[in-house]
Amino acid sequence: LVNRGAERWDWDSFFVFSKGVFDRRPIVPVLGNHEYQSADPILYLAQFALLRNGPKTIPPERAYAFEYSNAKFIILDSNLDAAKQTAWLEKELANTKAMWKFVSYHHPAYSSGGNRDNVDVRKLWTPIFDKFHVDLALQYAKAVVAKKIPACKWVRLACKRHVTDLAKAKTKAFAYRFD
């Protein structure tokens, strides 16, 4: 959300420059590494009144979940140990009847830069996403490419490349390895 999570002026700038957006629309924040600038996201937690229904194995307000209409939203903290959130994530997805399931977290399971991959997220969370048919980038990308979801030319091209790369990743000729 901000570049310097331990500095008040950065949070003030975030909200000042978001006037007209966040004062009229809900924000569902996700912790990133910049919010942990001072080892604990103190100012992040001070800015938001978040649900405290996340896993008991991590501090409150780091991960949380809610339903809105026919959608389930799950927010995870990929700065913390993924294993400590995995059982809770699976339980949340198993117990929802929502048609749409959205999960958000900061660090990518797969990255175009090999040193930016999050192996724990990929090994622990992505099988759960698949098991419970979470509607994330992969399904979104396929729907955009199939023109089921309207998108501009550049979003369609990015989604097409993503889907193509995922298909190529299953072959030995693919230049990158994710494990």
Helix boundaries (H) for 1-131: 8-16, 42-47, 83-94, 119-120, 126-131
| Residue pLDDT, tens place only, 127-149 | 999 899 998 644 345 556 777 65
pLDDT value of residue 76:
93
Residue 80: C-alpha distances to residues 33, 41, 73, 169 (Å) = 10, 12, 19, 28
DSSP 2: -
Q: Using CA atoms, how far apart are residues 149 and 77, in angstroms rounded to an integer? A: 29
- Report residue 100: phi and psi, to 5°: -110, 135
pLDDT band at 177 (very low <50, low <70, confident <90, very high): low
Return the higher-pLDDT residue of 33 and 114.
33
Mean pLDDT of 56-63: 97
Residue type, 65: A
Three-state secondary-structure class, residue 161: helix
**Range of weakest confidence among 29-38, 118-127, 129-138, 164-173:** 164-173
